């Protein structure tokens, strides 16, 4: 039985190292579930699991990575099963469209990006195949290193590199297509 003092210490270290990542966990959960209510539940469950397992976490190491690993397992085991199924997408058949080749004469600095708002970017991210989406979110939204992403997703660093490359290119092509459709830039939609 833990003494009151130990309980206080546990709580204090959990608040300092884990609860500070609540925003990050929520952002990732939202992109994985595509649904605010499920994201709430997933984050809640992640925090409960993390608190129970807090003794197993080596303090002062990478709490964000540790928490995201718990979150992803909870998502795969519980949410994905009942909410959305992983798409059967052959990632190798997704051919990136070369946006720079299209815009280099008229808009080499990508000024059209400025006109695309947050919601539209997030909507396009949500349409990416799950394997691309989770890699891109951990990198571009959460700023994790390739090594950290590889650990969380349990894939080799080389796979992180190739997925991230293609995820960014596909997203870029779709955002470009959106910009063309909205008349933000002249061109041929991807």
Partner 1 sequence: MNCRECVEHLYEFLDREATPELERDIRQHLEECPPCGEQFDFEAIYLKFLRARCRTQGAPEELKRRVLRELFGE
Please report how close the Cβ of residue 84 comes to partner 1 at its closest, in angstroms: 20
> Which is nearer to partner 1, 56 or 88 (by Cβ)?
56
Residues that bind partner 1 (CB under 8 A): 11, 14, 19, 22-23, 25-27, 30, 36, 40, 43-44, 47-48, 51, 100, 103-104, 108-110, 113-114, 116-118, 121-122, 125, 137, 139-141, 143, 145-146, 161, 164-165, 168, 171-172
How open is the CA angle 136-98-144, to the nearest 5 degrees?
15
- Let me know how long the chain is: 190
Please report how close the Cβ of residue 88 comes to partner 1 at its closest, in angstroms: 26
Contact criterion met (CB below 8 Å) for 65 and 151: yes
Cβ-in-10-Å burial (0-12, 13-18, 19+) of 1 comes to: exposed
Please report how close the Cβ of residue 175 comes to partner 1 at its closest, in angstroms: 9
> Which is nearer to partner 1, 50 or 72 (by Cβ)?
50
């Amino acid at each position: 039985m833990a003494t009151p003092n130990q309980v206080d210490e546990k709580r204090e270290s959990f608040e300092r190292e884990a609860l500070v990542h609540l925003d990050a966990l929520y952002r990732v959960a939202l992109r994985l579930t595509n649904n605010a209510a499920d994201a709430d539940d997933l984050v809640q469950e992640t925090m409960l699991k993390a608190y129970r397992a807090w003794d197993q976490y080596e303090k002062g190491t990478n709490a964000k990575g540790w928490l995201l690993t718990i979150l992803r397992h909870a998502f795969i085991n519980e949410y994905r099963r009942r909410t959305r199924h992983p798409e059967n997408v052959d990632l190798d058949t997704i051919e990136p469209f070369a946006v720079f080749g299209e815009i280099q004469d008229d808009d080499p600095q990508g000024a059209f990006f400025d006109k695309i708002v947050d919601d539209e970017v997030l909507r396009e991210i949500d349409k990416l195949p799950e394997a691309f989406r989770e890699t891109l979110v951990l990198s571009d939204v959460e700023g994790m290193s390739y090594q950290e992403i590889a650990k969380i997703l349990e894939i080799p660093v080389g796979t992180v590199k190739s997925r991230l490359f293609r995820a960014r290119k596909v997203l870029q092509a779709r955002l470009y297509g959106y910009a063309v459709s909205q008349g933000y830039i002249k061109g041929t939609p991807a």
